[in-house]
Amino acid sequence: MDFEQLKQKAHDLPRVPGVYIMKDDKGEIIYVGKAKILPNRVSQYFANLASHTAKTRQMVSRICEFETIFADTEFEALLLENTLIKKHKPKYNILLKDDKGYPFVAISREEYPRFSIESAIKSADLEYYGPYGGRGSANAAVELLKQTFLLPTCGKVFPRDIGKERPCLRYQMKKCCGVCTGKVSAEEYNEIIDQCRALLKGSDRDLVKKLEEDMNRYAEALEFEKAAVCRDRIRNLQKMGLRHTVTGGRLSDRDALAFVTLGARSCIALLSFVQGNLIGKKITFFDGLEENDMEDAVESFIKQYYGIFQSAPREIVLSKPLEDVASLETYLTGLRGGKCSITYPQRGERLRQARLAESNGMLELETLEKREQKSLKLLELVRDSIGLTDLPHRIEAYDISNTAGDLPVASMMVFEDGRPAKRHYKKFKIKTAAGGDDYGAMAEVIGRRLDRALSGDEGFLPLPELMLIDGGKGQTAIACEQIRQRGLTVPAYGMVKDDHHRTRALISEEGREIGLSATPQLFAFVGRIQEETHRFAIEFHRASRSKTMKKSALDEIEGIGPGRRKKLLDRFGSLKAICAAELDELAEIVPRKVAAEIKTKLGGGEEA
């Protein structure tokens, strides 16, 4: 369908609310939007193209067809739009981080419940609370609950481990309730967990009221120690930061939201307030958006962000007005289970909070711009010093690690724009090269990495603008040969160390050295890469060696296969604990004959 046909089709649409779905020449959905009156909104895309932002012009140039779905109300259209965006993830819609990036605090459904951090809702055997803004926030919530309610942190499993060992130092310091002593019944422990549940739900006022009642009841019964525990919990709960940390900031009563642009980058700054106090901040960056994209960006953010958390504050104040907020308010009110209003304040405290969000957003953009300028200068220095054609936006570094030729492993470390990109790090177990053959191991690793990229594996794309090899001329030549064999042109240099194990120079496959000491910034940068590469390789090698030692020690015992080995490690937690276990304890997991064999071979507790 050509441009004029699309324009006419948009004009002829019925004047009702609905959703429009833009498609490209392959029939793929590239954008989903909602409209209060379909022909008015859709026609805007095909009229006065010069007034559109660059992103919108690019999208319109790719539209070959569009479909519409009619709705009874604009709110119904909003819900449908949200569902379709989640399902299809269109290229030109503004998408936030996936739900998988927001972990949950989980409580197990056991006699003595345990806490864990889960990436998604998967099991009916767990109760989930959240999601939280990140794993750090979820961990902080659990740690604070453990401190406040004196929960065990030792990793023991109850009731299995009750009375088996002397209580730990935390119990002696009155920082643990001491479930392991047997003095806390399952009923009492579950009462504590119920208090944790209440706080995770944000019901801190009800919890404080109940604790005050318990404190008074214990005091009247002359149980002053228990009354003191209630008193300490009340004090912790009344701290402003506790509720915010435990709920992950999901229960603010007002959020201030601002859309800010600086050059080619923009961001949405969200500040959360409780009773007028600032308790949290979230900055979401966007590339390629302009001031005219504000309406779409803010609407998309509000729907997706609060949709992920399935909750909303009582009020959202904006630094700039939105054209139509009624359907958004209806959507958020449904999430909250109570009234949620969106306002554009003109004066007073709300205006101050909106402007504070705006200034925070601008400061974040300015900080990011300065950091990027600094990174750009560093990349230019690397390019000019080595004589590269392109800026090395992606640098990969490789290291081989082994112990006297045994258990050789390799690491691939990635720097993007001068900063470690840990999500792209890779680990390799050497499969074909003989133990101690570092040249063969390097050839294998570089070859495997390049082959994965050439096969289209997105986990190994894009190729780097520079490869750094932890080694001299020989290893570098091996890497370059692997690159040439595949018809590629990735520059590769070795990192030559001095007597203090610091990289003093880069070396080419021909043996040409590029000194670093004369350029302190370059010397420090390459040194950071070399240290990070070595650290990553050593950690992987140690983990592999430890795993192999555990496996081989148990595998040498007749009667222990993968299933029994797993049961033993699950029960005791480590090889050391298995070695120290009593015969009767081992016999609970494996036949007594096998348990006796374990005691004979490992009973001394020596690492085998």
In a domain, 376, yes or no: no
Confidence (pTM): 0.62
If pLDDT is split at 50, 70 and 90, which confidence band does 340 have?
A: very high
Domain boundary (197, 229, 247) is at: 247
Q: What is the pLDDT of residue 267?
A: 93
The pLDDT of 584-595, averaged and rounded, is 88
Tokens of 45: 């895309």
Q: What is the pLDDT of residue 348?
A: 92
Tokens of 4: 């004029």
Question: pLDDT tens for residues 362-395?
Answer: 999 999 999 999 999 999 999 999 999 999 999 9
H-assigned helices in 166-203 = 169-172, 186-200
Query: Do 143 and 62 fall into the same domain?
Result: no
If pLDDT is split at 50, 70 and 90, which confidence band does 356 have?
A: very high
Q: What is the pLDDT of residue 607?
A: 34
**Mean pLDDT across the chain:** 85
| 24-53 CB burial, b ≥16 within 10 A, e <16 | beeeebbbbbbbbebbebbbebbeeeeebe
In a domain, 550, yes or no: no
The pLDDT of 320-344, averaged and rounded, is 91
Q: What is the pLDDT of residue 605?
A: 37
In this predicted structure, the answer to whether residue 349 has a pLDDT above a threshold of 70 is yes
Question: pLDDT tens for residues 507-557?
Answer: 999 999 999 888 899 999 998 998 888 888 788 767 766 665 555 567 778
The pLDDT of 593-599, averaged and rounded, is 87
Contact 23, 31 (CB under 8 A): no
3-state secondary structure of 394: strand
Omega into 520 within 30° of 0, i.e. cis? no
**In total, how many domains does the chain have?**
5
CATH of the domain at 439: 3.30.420.340
Q: What is the pLDDT of residue 488?
A: 96
Q: What is the pLDDT of residue 597?
A: 87
CA distance 403 to 537: 12
Q: What is the pLDDT of residue 545?
A: 61
CATH of the domain at 583: 1.10.150.20
Q: What is the pLDDT of residue 257?
A: 95
Q: What is the pLDDT of residue 539?
A: 82
Query: Do 567 and 528 fall into the same domain?
Result: no
In this predicted structure, the answer to whether residue 142 has a pLDDT above a threshold of 50 is yes
In a domain, 387, yes or no: no
Contact 34, 81 (CB under 8 A): yes
Range of the domain at 133: 104-247
Q: What is the pLDDT of residue 240?
A: 41
Query: Do 258 and 242 fall into the same domain?
Result: no
CATH of the domain at 83: 3.40.1440.10
Contact 480, 504 (CB under 8 A): no
Distance between start and end Cα atoms, the chain: 72
Q: What is the pLDDT of residue 221?
A: 86
Question: pLDDT tens for residues 545-564?
Answer: 666 555 556 777 888 887 88
